[in-house]
Amino acid sequence: MGVTRTVLLALAVSTLAALGPSRVAYADDSEAQMRAHAAQDEAERAARWQQLQQAVFGKRALADGAGVIQIEAPEHALDAALVPITLTMKSATPIKGLYVVIDNNPSPVAGHFTFGPRADPRTLKLRVRVNQYTFIHAVAETVDGKLFVSRQFVKTSGGCSAPVGADNADALKDIGLMKLHLLGPFSPGKSLQAQLMIRHPNFNGMQMDQITRLFTPPRFIRTIDATYDGAPIFHLDSDISLSTDPVITFGFVPDKKGSMQLVVRDSDNAAFNHSFAVPAG
Amino acid sequence: MRRVPSLDGSLKGWLKELQLLKSVAAKRAVPGHGPTSVDWPLGCRDLERYLQVLLRETRAAIAQGRDIDAAVKTVGLSERTRWALFDDYNGHNVIQAFKEVEWE
Q: What is the 3-state secondary structure (H, E, C) of chain B?
A: CCECCCCCCCHHHHHHHHHHHHCCCCCEECCCCCCCCEECCHHHHHHHHHHHHHHHHHHHHHHCCCCHHHHHHHCCHHHHHHCECHHHHHHHHHHHHHHHHCCC
Q: Does A156 touch chain B (CB under 8 A)?
A: no
Nearest by CB: A78 against B67, B92, B99: B92
Average pLDDT over residues A119-144: 97
Average pLDDT over residues A145-166: 90
Q: Is the pLDDT of residue A10 over 70?
A: no
Distance CA B75, CA B73 (A): 6
Average pLDDT over residues A36-55: 94
- Tell me the three state secondary structure of residue A50: helix
CA nearest A260: which of A124, A113, A119, A86? Answer: A119
Give residue A88's identity as a one-letter amino acid code: T
Give residue A117's identity as a one-letter amino acid code: P
Distance CA B42, CA A188 (A): 57
Provide the number of CB pairs (under 8 Å) joining chain A to chain B: 34
- Provide the whole-model pTM: 0.88
DSSP 8-state secondary structure symbol assigned to residue A119:
E
Q: Do B69 and A249 touch (CB under 8 A)?
A: no
Distance CA A215, CA A88 (A): 36
Q: Residues A19-34: pLDDT tens digits?
A: 444 455 555 568 888 8
Q: Is the pLDDT of residue A192 over 90?
A: yes
In chain A, residues with a C-beta closer than 8 Å to the C-beta of B95 are 78-79, 82
**How many other β-carbons are positioned within 10 Å of the β-carbon of residue A94?**
13
Low-confidence ranges of chain B (pLDDT < 50): none
Give percent of chain A above pLDDT 90: 75
If pLDDT is split at 50, 70 and 90, which confidence band does A171 have? confident
Q: What is the pLDDT of residue A212?
A: 86
Q: How many residues does chain B have?
A: 104
Task: Work out the mean pLDDT of chain A and round it to a whole number.
Answer: 90
Which distant-in-sequence residues (6+ apart) come within 8 Å of B94 by Cβ? A78, B54, B58, B71, B72, B75, B76
CA nearest A160: which of A233, A198, A106? Answer: A106
Q: Is the pLDDT of residue A150 over 90?
A: yes
Q: What is the pLDDT of residue A3?
A: 44
Q: What is the pLDDT of residue A21?
A: 44
In chain A, residues with a C-beta closer than 8 Å to the C-beta of B9 are 165-166
Q: Does B104 touch chain A (CB under 8 A)?
A: no
Nearest chain B residue to A199 by CA distance is B103
Q: Is the pLDDT of residue A136 over 90?
A: yes
Cβ–Cβ < 8 Å for A103, A122: no
Q: Is the pLDDT of residue A40 over 60?
A: yes
Give residue B1's identity as a one-letter amino acid code: M
Nearest by CB: A166 against B10, B65, B103: B10
Q: Strands, DSSP E only, in A11-94? A: 62-64, 69-72, 83-89
Distance CA B1, CA B3 (A): 6
Nearest by CB: A197 against B9, B94, B102: B102
Highest mean pLDDT among A18-32, A59-73, A151-165: A59-73
Distances (CA, A) of A206 to A66, A154, A219: 35, 20, 11
Nearest chain B residue to A125 by CA distance is B67
Distance CA A116, CA A96 (A): 7
Distance CA A275, CA A271 (A): 13
Distances (CA, A) of A159 to A69, A131, A274, B98: 25, 5, 29, 17
Give the gap in angstroms from C-alpha B10 to the nearest C-alpha of chain A: 8
Q: Does B68 touch chain A (CB under 8 A)?
A: yes
Which distant-in-sequence residues (6+ apart) come within 8 Å of A221 by Cβ? A198, A200, A202, A238, A242, A246, A264, A265, A266, A267
**Which of these CATH numbers, 3.40.50.410, 3.30.870.10, 2.60.40.2470, 3.40.50.300, describes A2-18+27-276?**
2.60.40.2470
If pLDDT is split at 50, 70 and 90, which confidence band does A222 have? very high
Q: Does B25 touch chain A (CB under 8 A)?
A: no
Q: Does B88 touch chain A (CB under 8 A)?
A: no
Distance CA A124, CA A204 (A): 23
Q: Is the pLDDT of residue A15 over 50?
A: no
Which distant-in-sequence residues (6+ apart) come within 8 Å of A184 by Cβ? A192, A193
Give the gap in angstroms from C-alpha B27 to the nearest C-alpha of chain A: 31
Alpha-carbon torsion angle A39, A44, A50, A53, nearest 10: -120
- Indicate the pairing of strand A147-154 with strand A62-64: parallel
Indicate the angle between helix axes B11-22 and B86-101, nearest 10 degrees: 100
Nearest chain A residue to B9 by CA distance is A166
* Sequence ranges of the domains in chain A: 2-18+27-276
In chain B, residues with a C-beta closer than 8 Å to the C-beta of A249 are 67
End-to-end CA distance of chain B: 29
